[in-house]
Amino acid sequence: MAFSIALSGKGGTGKTTTAGLLIKYLTATGRSPVLAVDADCNANLNEVLGLSFSDTLGGSREEMKKGDVPSGMTKDVFMEMKLEQAIVEADGFDLVVMGQPEGPGCYCAANTLLTSFLERLTGNYPYVVIDNEAGMEHISRLTTKDVDVMLIVSDTSRRGIQAALRINELARELNIGVGKSYLIINQVKEALSEAVLNMIAASGLELAGTIPEDETVYEFDLNGRPTIEMPPDSPAVVQAYRIFEKIIG
Ligand SMILES: Nc1ncnc2c1ncn2[C@@H]1O[C@H](COP(=O)(O)OP(=O)(O)OP(=O)(O)O)[C@@H](O)[C@H]1O
Ligand SMILES: [Mg+2]
């Protein structure tokens, strides 16, 4: 069974960057192959990983719903083939992009096929990393259900951390089956204030660690260079690896 780690948090806190660094860590420490799942419909995990994609699982579902099935093929076989095509293979990891989510209240056959495909797919990998869209309301039950670890990424602001704590509470209330949640504070410029540390301690959400603001992360992003190609001695990579070592080993 795959060990699954989902990233969540409010917008722009560094979920995708952290997901990329986690995938780098897992492959560097011999945990390959890793399945990277981009569950943000504004998909950009591929950029952090230095990959391009053309198909999404959601796109395959929509195609099947339209019914453009080649003659001599059953719908199920066609859908399976389309979903299979959406897997991008890379060195040490594969990527699938979820694409547009299913509309509310629709439990059509195509979506059922997608769900079972994703379940089977994740079973093929020792580690699965899921990058989610910002905010809890977007936490997809399809991809965040029954994860071993949820990493909630926050900035250093009081409001940012409050948002992270709310996400943690909501995940518990929604009963989506998260084994353990951790808080990661990213883009840290100076030591966390006493008030913030107290707030975190009172919440019961474990602080896994902090990742410093790192010019290299920003520069790579600006120049369209994949985050996973960052030098291993960059402060953000060093700190992120320390956190992952603590959590995953
Ligand atoms: N430790 C860091 N140091 C410097 N810049 C960073 C750091 N972490 C992330 N960034 C930058 O912050 C921006 C947002 O990061 P990222 O896309 O990872 O956030 P996100 O939470 O996935 O955003 P969204 O909610 O839009 O999906 C990017 O430009 C990224 O390069
Ligand atoms: Mg993102």
Listed residue (192, 195, 97, 128) closest to 154, CA to CA:
192
Top-confidence residue, 50 or 107:
50
Please state which of the ranges 6-15, 89-98, 115-124 shows the lowest mean pLDDT. Answer: 115-124
CB atoms within 10 A of CB 69: 16
- pTM higher than the cut 0.85: yes
Q: What is the pLDDT of residues 176-231, one digit of tens each?
A: 889 999 999 999 999 999 999 999 999 999 999 999 999 999 999 999 999 999 99
The edge-to-edge listing of strands for the beta sheet with 3-9 is 88-89, 93-97, 34-38, 127-131, 3-9, 147-154, 178-188, 206-212
Is the pLDDT confidence value at 142 over 80?
no
Summarize the confidence of residues 59-67 as an average pLDDT. 83
**What pLDDT shows up at residue 211?**
98
Q: Which atom of ligand 1 sits closest to the CA of residue 220?
A: 31
Of all residues in the chain, the percent with pLDDT exceeding 70 is: 95
Which of 218, 219, 223, 234 for a ligand 1 pocket mutation test, highest count of atoms within 8 Å of Cβ?
218
Average pLDDT of the chain to the nearest whole number: 91
Residue 187 backbone class (left: φ over 0; alpha: ψ -120 to 50; beta: rest): left
Summarize the confidence of residues 40-46 as an average pLDDT. 94
Residue 185 CB partners (closer than 8 Å, separation 6+): 153, 154, 155, 156, 161, 192, 207, 209, 210, 211
Asked if omega into 101 is within 30° of 0 (cis), the reply is: no
Which of 8, 10, 16 for a ligand 1 pocket mutation test, highest count of atoms within 8 Å of Cβ?
16
Are residues 145 and 132 in contact, defined by beta-carbon separation less than 8 angstroms? Answer: no
Summarize the confidence of residues 130-146 as an average pLDDT. 76
**What pLDDT shows up at residue 220?**
97
Listed residue (92, 123, 121) closest to 22, CA to CA:
92
**What pLDDT shows up at residue 41?**
87
**What pLDDT shows up at residue 104?**
64
Reduce the DSSP state of residue 157 to 3 states and report it: coil
How far apart are the CA of 15 and the centre of ligand 1, in A? 7
Is the pLDDT confidence value at 141 over 70?
no
